[in-house]
């Protein structure tokens, strides 16, 4: 059987959630379609070490640890040509928590390096990911600027807000993923349906306990909880947080202004976990539904659908950040499977796209605007 493989380059690669999902994706018609790692880059040393160890252990030189603002893209071209590009550009300036400066912030403009790579390498397709808040940063103007730049780079784009818990992922994680297919390629992408994942047990308890985490599993160290935190957690029921639980006054948090709902929030064992983030301290570690403690990094990794043999490098704090910033591998695989099926001309269950870019004319200038359904 003929084999068609897409060599994938990654910017802002993270620890390997996208890379792992891509390596597991497949489609088969008259040919077998797959995706393989070509090169990847990220600015964080531990993150790059994690990626090397798990995604490219036999070719560590294909992972470059560098600030993308100083990286010579020609160096990437010398490593390998690519057929596809993935870039989960930093979300700090688009997150629902924070100032949400969008493309005017420190991290927002980093999407331009994804556009630069598209123009330079001209891959057949791309996968771009960011937080759901990207849609409304700067009153939606930032998202429109990004969409227009991707279209102008020569791609048909298919943005969609994926709610990963609807795809069998044991976590309420909502992310905008934009699939782009080069204009000169007669392939169209459709959003994979959630129907095949109905009835899955996506509870946090099932994800963490079934099967039990093996004794001696990596990244499974417990956090030393202070007496104060332990006493506070005793008064917080599953699904509650430090602000809606009945906590004695002496144990309450002295916080003015915004009260973030995930502070010292216990998981509900019968529901998907709330969003696992890369933040730490101040009660943001994600807390066990029964035991008076934060989750271990391995438990957090399970909620992110990383397999137990996926080893994260670095300190416990560094690993926590890597896990929280990653794309769930199983979620990425579902989307990559749909991309491969699209190229293989294989029909698969689809759903309606919920973000539709439309061309408008304003003062004589064309502008792409995202319309949500």
pLDDT per residue as tens digits for the range 39-98? 999 999 999 999 999 999 999 999 999 999 999 999 999 999 999 999 987 644 444 444
- Quote the strand ranges of 218-352, DSSP E: 350-351
Write the CA distances from 250 to 68, 224, 235, 284, integer angstroms: 47, 21, 12, 20
Q: Is residue 228 part of a domain?
A: no
Say how far residue 273 (Cα) sits from the centre of its chain.
Answer: 15
Q: Pick the closest to residue 274 from 255, 261, 290 (CA basis).
A: 261
List 132's β-bridge partners, or say none: none
Catalytic residues: 91
What does the pLDDT read at residue 261?
81
The C-alpha atoms of residue 71 and residue 116 are separated, in whole angstroms, by 12
Q: Is residue 271 part of a domain?
A: no
Q: Is residue 258 part of a domain?
A: no
What does the pLDDT read at residue 101?
46
Q: Is residue 99 part of a domain?
A: yes
Domain count, the chain: 1
Q: Pick the closest to residue 131 from 167, 95, 163 (CA basis).
A: 95
Q: Sort strands 31-42 and 26-28 into parallel, antiparallel or unpaired.
A: antiparallel
Tokens of 186: 């007669």
115 φ, ψ (degrees, to nearest 5): -65, -40
Q: Is residue 141 part of a domain?
A: yes
What does the pLDDT read at residue 105?
43
The C-alpha atoms of residue 178 and residue 134 are separated, in whole angstroms, by 12
How many other CB atoms are there within 10 angstroms of residue 27's CB atom? 21
Q: Is residue 174 part of a domain?
A: yes
CATH number of the structural domain spanning residue 181: 3.40.50.150
Q: What is the pTM of this model?
A: 0.93
Mean pLDDT (whole number) for 254-273? 85
Q: Is residue 220 part of a domain?
A: no
Q: Pick the closest to residue 243 from 230, 256, 228, 227 (CA basis).
A: 256
- The 10s digit of each residue's pLDDT in 10-26 is 999 999 999 999 999 99
Q: Is residue 352 part of a domain?
A: yes
Q: Average pLDDT, whole number, for the chain?
A: 90
Work out the widest C-alpha separation in the chain, in whole angstroms: 69
Cα dihedral across residues 200, 205, 210, 214: positive or negative? positive
- The 10s digit of each residue's pLDDT in 152-203 is 999 999 999 999 999 999 999 999 999 999 999 999 999 999 999 999 999 9
Q: At what angle do helices 316-325 and 45-54 cross, to 10 degrees?
A: 70
In this predicted structure, which of 93-97, 194-198, 263-267, 296-300 has the lowest mean pLDDT?
93-97
The C-alpha atoms of residue 373 and residue 354 are separated, in whole angstroms, by 5
Q: Cα–Cα–Cα angle for 337, 125, 321, nearest 5°?
A: 70
Domain containing 144 equals 2-197+327-372
């Amino acid at each position: 059987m003929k084999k068609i493989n897409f060599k994938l380059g990654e910017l802002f690669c993270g620890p390997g959630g996208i890379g792992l999902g891509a390596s597991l994706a497949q489609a088969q018609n008259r040919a077998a379609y797959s995706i393989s790692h070509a090169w990847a880059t990220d600015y964080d040393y531990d993150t790059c070490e994690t990626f090397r160890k798990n995604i490219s252990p036999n070719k560590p030189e294909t992972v470059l640890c560098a600030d993308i603002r100083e990286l010579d893209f020609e160096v990437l071209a010398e490593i390998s040509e690519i057929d596809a590009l993935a870039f989960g550009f930093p979300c700090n300036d688009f997150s629902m928590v924070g100032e949400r400066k969008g493309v005017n912030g420190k991290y927002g403009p980093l999407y331009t390096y994804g556009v630069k790579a598209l123009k330079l390498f001209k891959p057949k397709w791309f996968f771009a990911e960011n937080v759901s808040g990207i849609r409304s940063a700067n009153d939606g103007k930032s998202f429109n600027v990004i969409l227009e730049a991707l279209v102008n780079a020569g791609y048909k784009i298919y943005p969609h807000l994926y709610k990963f818990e609807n795809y069998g992922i044991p976590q309420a994680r909502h992310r905008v993923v934009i699939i782009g297919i080069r204009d000169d390629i007669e392939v169209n992408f459709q959003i994979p349906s959630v129907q095949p994942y109905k009835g899955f047990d996506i509870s946090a308890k099932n994800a963490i306990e079934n099967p039990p985490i093996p004794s001696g599993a990596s990244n499974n160290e417990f956090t030393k909880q202070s007496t104060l935190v332990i006493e506070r957690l005793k008064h917080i029921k599953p699904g509650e947080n430090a602000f809606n639980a009945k906590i004695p006054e002496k144990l309450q948090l002295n916080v003015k202004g915004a009260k973030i709902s995930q502070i010292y929030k216990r998981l509900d064992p019968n529901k998907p976990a709330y969003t696992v983030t890369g933040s730490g301290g101040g009660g943001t570690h994600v807390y066990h539904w029964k035991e008076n403690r934060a989750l271990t990094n391995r438990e957090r990794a399970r909620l992110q659908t990383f397999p137990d043999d996926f080893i994260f490098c670095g300190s416990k704090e560094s690993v926590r950040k890597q896990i929280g910033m990653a794309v769930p591998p199983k979620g990425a695989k579902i989307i990559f499977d749909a991309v491969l099926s699209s190229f293989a001309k294989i029909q698969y269950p689809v759903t309606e796209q919920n973000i539709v870019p439309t061309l408008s004319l304003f003062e004589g200038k064309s502008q792409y605007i995202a319309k949500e359904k």
